[in-house]
Each structure stands twice: as structure tokens, then as C-alpha cells.
Amino acid sequence: MPDRRANPAGGYVLLLHLEHAERIQVGRLGAFDFPPAHYLYFGSALGGLASRIQRHQSTQKRLHWHIDYLTATARVEQAWWAAGRERWECLWAQTALEVPGISLPAAGFGSSDCRCPSHLVQAPSFRAALSLRCRLPGNPKIWRPEDAD
């Protein structure tokens, strides 16, 4: 995981697992039906990767971003990250949507400040979600929740 003291800026991917079907109201974006599945969320943390990833893992937080509504129910299984000032999330989301079997579960999710159809994708399996990492530009590193201090 990125060093908390340095807390570099960068892009990240959350690999989430939702065990049961849920209808989730995602702020003003609307309500969406999420089937049990693995999801990948692409984001940036220009103010610091370590603190952003830890925030997404927390269950005690104010619901602010679209992803907060999903992480209130789904479990973060892994995070992938790439340090730097480059905004990777749009390229990563576009790359993911080009992979057969990857689908878009909620239009506009996490992408209200860009022209992407969504920054959230659904993977057909855990293995498919994991295999996506090696396709992403920027060579994101893996961080697992159990690696945290």
C-alpha cells in the first residue's frame, strides 16, 4: 500500500464483492439494482492514495461520493494503485469496458466530472476481475486490506 506518511497522489481501482442483490440509492444519481457480483471502481486520489483507500474501507463515513453508497454494502477485497499526478480512472474504465464479459451496471456512476459512461464495471467472476489488472496501463500495484498496518 502507499506509505501513509508520504500519502502520494495517484489513481486506484477498488475490487469489491457484493454478496447479495441490493437496490441501492446512489445519492442524486438514482437507484440501481446491483446483483451479487464483483465490481471494479476506478478513481483518483490527488490528495493522497493511502487516506482515500482507507476511507473507502471504512464503514463509518459520511456518504459523499457515489462509491460510498456501494461500499456501505459491498466489501473491498483489494485495491490497486499507481502513484503520480496522472488521472488514470477514465483510461482504466475505458480499457475495462473493452474486455468481453465486463459490463456497465450503473450509468454515470463516479463519472459526473467527465464524459465516461461510468467508472464502475461489473465482472463476470473474481478471476475475470483479477485478470483485468494486467491489462491496465500504468502497471497498478496490488494492495490487500490485510496488508494495512
128 within some domain: yes
- Predicted TM-score (pTM) above 0.85: yes
66-115 pLDDT, tens digit per residue, is 999 999 999 999 999 998 888 999 999 999 999 999 999 999 999 998 99
Q: Find the Cα–Cα–Cα–Cα dihedral 53, 57, 60, 65, rounded to 10°.
A: 60
3 within some domain: no
64 within some domain: yes
4 within some domain: no
23-68 pLDDT, tens digit per residue, is 999 999 999 999 999 999 999 998 888 889 989 988 888 999 999 9
Distance CA 44, CA 55 (A): 13
DSSP state of 8: -
Give the pLDDT band (50/70/90) at residue 149: very low
112 within some domain: yes
109 within some domain: yes
Give the pLDDT band (50/70/90) at residue 6: low
32 within some domain: yes
Domain span holding position 68: 10-147
2 within some domain: no
Q: What is the pLDDT of residue 144?
A: 59
Q: How many domains does the chain have?
A: 1
Tell me how far the alpha carbon of residue 31 is from its chain's centroid: 18
